[in-house]
Amino acid sequence: MSITSHDVARFAGVSQATVSRALRGDPRVSAATQDRVRRAADALNYVPSEAGRSLSTHTTRRVGVLVSDLANPFYPYLIGPLHDELEQHGYRMMLLTERSDTALATEGLLDHSIDGAVLTTATSGSALPEALRRKQVPFVFLNRVDGRDGADAAVVDNQLGGRIAATELVELGHRKIALLGGSPDTSSGRDREQGFVAGLADAGVALPASRIRRGPYDFDTGYRGLAELLDADADVTAVFCGNDVVAIGAYNAALREGLRVPDDLTLVGFDDLPMASWEAFSLTTLRYDLPEMARAAARLLVERLTGKATGPARQVAFEPELVRRGTHAPPALRRAWRM
C-alpha cells in the first residue's frame, strides 16, 4: 500500500496537518518538528502528492516559462539558470513553446495549472501580458518587455549597449556604418537601435535608412540583410548587429561575398553567447550576465508569489560591456571584392 501523510504523522508523533505544514517549510512549525517530520518521511519513503498539496494550498508550485522561438540559441542559455533558481525556491518549471502567445492567452497559461509565468519573448502586440493581468496571475518579463507599466522585469540596458557599439565604431574611424537590427515590435530591437542611432548622432555620424535592415533575431536576418546592405551601399565598412546570431549570419554572408572580417568589414554583435567566443567567429560583441539576468527574473516572480513583494513594479537592468575579439578593426581601403 502507498504511504500517506497519515502514516508519516503516526510515525513522527504529530498531526497530519503538522506533516503537511512541516513539509512545506511553514514557519509556524518549529525547526525541530520539521526535522522530525522529514526524517519520518525519509524513513517511510514518503513522496508528497502534488495534487493533494495543490488542493489544500490552492497553489501548484509550478511556473510557466513562455519561449516562442526555441530554435534561437539565445533562449536555451536562459532556461538552465531559470530552472535552477525556481527549483531552489521550491517551484517546478513548465516550458511552454508557441509561435504566438495568442493561444496561450486564452488557454495554456490561464487554466489554473500554474501559479505564475515568465515571459521571455514579449512584443508590443503581445496579448498574453494583459490576459495575465486580468486574471491576476503574477508574471515577470525576462529579456523583453511589452512597453506597458505594471510588471516586474529583468532586462539588459539595451540603449546603453547600442551607444557603446556606436562609440567603438566611431573611435575606430568608421563612418560608413550600417545596422542589422531586431524587429521594431520588440523592446530589445527598438532600444538597441535607438541607443545606436543616438550614439552615432552624438559623434556627428548619420545612419541613413538605406543602411538599416531589421528582422527576427535569426541567422537569416544577418545573412540576407548584409547582402541587401552591400547591394544598396557597397562602401559600408562596419555593421552593428542586433544579436550574436544575426552577426554570425552576416559573417557568413561576408565570406560568401569574398569579404575579409575584419579587414574589409567590421562586425559587432550583442549578448556574448558561448558561440561568439568560438575560434571560427571570435566575435566582438556586447556582454552582460545572462545567467544572472535569468535568476533575477525568477527571484522577482517568487517574491510576488510568496507575498514578499507587494508594491509597484520593479525592474532589474544589467549593464552591457564591450568584449573586443577578432571582428573589429579600423576601416581600410577595400580591395576589389566584386568583379
Whether residues 275 and 175 fall in one domain: yes
Q: Tens digit of pLDDT for each residue in 162-212?
A: 999 999 999 999 999 999 999 999 999 999 999 999 999 999 999 999 999
Tell me which residue of 248, 240, 185 sits closest to 220, measured CA to CA: 248
Residue 43 has a CB neighbour count (10 Å cut-off) of 12
pLDDT, position 337: 46
First to last CA, the chain: 81
List all residues 6 or more positions away from 57 whose beta carbon is below 8 Å from its beta carbon.
Answer: 24
pLDDT, position 101: 53
Whether residues 314 and 199 fall in one domain: no
pLDDT, position 103: 52
Residue at 172 is within a domain: yes
Residue at 334 is within a domain: no
Whether residues 294 and 197 fall in one domain: no
265: exposed, middle or buried (Cβ count in 10 Å: 0-12, 13-18, 19+): buried
pLDDT, position 339: 40
How are strands ordered across the β-sheet holding 238-241? 212-214, 177-181, 238-241, 266-268
Residue located via cell numbers 518538528: 33
Among 243, 268, 287, the domain boundary falls at: 287
Whether residues 170 and 281 fall in one domain: yes
Residue at 338 is within a domain: no
Cell of 321: 560591456
The string of DSSP codes covering 61-85 is -EEEEE-S-TTSTTTHHHHHHHHHH
Residue at 327 is within a domain: no
pLDDT, position 104: 54
Segments of the chain with pLDDT less than 50: 51, 54-57, 105-106, 335-339
Whether residues 120 and 166 fall in one domain: no
CATH number at residue 140: 3.40.50.2300
The string of DSSP codes covering 132-171 is HHHHT--EEEES---S-SSSEEEEE-HHHHHHHHHHHHHH
Whether residues 30 and 109 fall in one domain: no
Q: Which domain holds residue 278?
A: 158-287
Residue at 324 is within a domain: no
CB 82 within 8 A of CB 65: yes
pLDDT, position 310: 86
Residue at 325 is within a domain: no
Residue at 150 is within a domain: yes
pLDDT, position 175: 96
CB 77 within 8 A of CB 290: yes
Tell me which residue of 127, 137, 136, 113 sits closest to 61, measured CA to CA: 113
147: exposed, middle or buried (Cβ count in 10 Å: 0-12, 13-18, 19+): middle
pLDDT, position 76: 86
Q: Which residues pair with 214 in a beta bridge?
A: 181
Q: How many domains does the chain have?
A: 3
Cell of 332: 581600410
Whether residues 178 and 250 fall in one domain: yes
Residue at 239 is within a domain: yes
CA dist list (Å): 247 to 63, 199, 221:
33, 20, 9
Whether residues 197 and 214 fall in one domain: yes
Distance (Å, rounded) from C-alpha 44 to C-alpha 40? 6
φ and ψ at residue 236, rounded to 5 degrees: -60, 130
Whether residues 11 and 39 fall in one domain: yes
Residue 282: which region, alpha, beta or left (left: phi > 0; alpha: psi -120 to 50)? left
Whether residues 296 and 315 fall in one domain: yes
pLDDT, position 301: 95
Distance (Å, rounded) from C-alpha 238 to C-alpha 211? 10
Whether residues 271 and 190 fall in one domain: yes
Whether residues 183 and 256 fall in one domain: yes
Provide the 3-class DSSP secondary structure of residue 242.
coil
CATH number at residue 45: 1.10.260.40
Residue 224 has a CB neighbour count (10 Å cut-off) of 16
Distance (Å, rounded) from C-alpha 285 to C-alpha 326? 10
